[in-house]
Amino acid sequence: MTIAIINYGASNLYSVKNCLNRLNLKSIITSDDEIIRQSSAAILPGVGAFGQAMYNIKKLKLDYSIYKFIETGKPFLAICLGMQLLFEKSCEFSQNKGLGLLQGDVKLIGGNKNLKVPHIGWNKINLVNRSTKNSVYLKNYDDDFMYFVHSYYVNPADEKIVLTKTNYQDFIFCSSVEYKNIIAFQFHPEKSGEKGLNIFRNLKKKIS
């Protein structure tokens, strides 16, 4: 039972790995297609710029690996920038195409409201759909604090995939989504204390 942490040159890889180590979950940081596809689960983490991240993913042909892994139905987690990359496009710096696995785009927090960005620190996540209240990963989570570091947010075309929303200075944004075997978080579970660790514990239960 191995979890692939997909390496496309972004930061935050080792904090995710250290978190998994604490739970005795075997993981490997890798860009290797065969290793990724044979893993029990895969995680797409990341902190950085959307355009550069997509350039690296395509250069390493990791888009193909990600598509093929998701087709297996095994758990696929995405964190922060990793979550944003799942969508169709981002307006960060310029228009950049994403992986297109989920419909929707990525926008600057606050739009024309001139909110302070990046949004850094602890904030609450609130479950929004009854159908997602039994999520394997966030079951019994509601009004819990998680750690955020981001300037952009995802804007899903389908509200049904939205798992939680978060309020930042009266600007409400999507903070996690779940669709089939994809679960993605704008916050950082690996930096969110015991509540964050519990998400990975729930992953462990799912793949055991």
> Could you say which of 91, 92, 190, 194 is catalytic?
190
Does 188 participate in catalysis according to the annotation?
A: yes
Helices 13-22 and 193-207, packing angle to 10 deg:
70
* Contact criterion met (CB below 8 Å) for 121 and 183: no
* Contact criterion met (CB below 8 Å) for 12 and 20: no
Does 178 participate in catalysis according to the annotation?
A: no
Helices 62-71 and 50-59, packing angle to 10 deg:
80
Pairing label, strands 96-97, 87-90: antiparallel
Q: Enumerate the β-bridge partners of residue 144.
A: 125
> Could you say which of 19, 80, 119, 178 is catalytic?
80
> Could you say which of 92, 174, 178, 188 is catalytic?
188
User: Would you please indicate which residues are annotated as catalytic (active-site) residues?
Assistant: 80, 188, 190
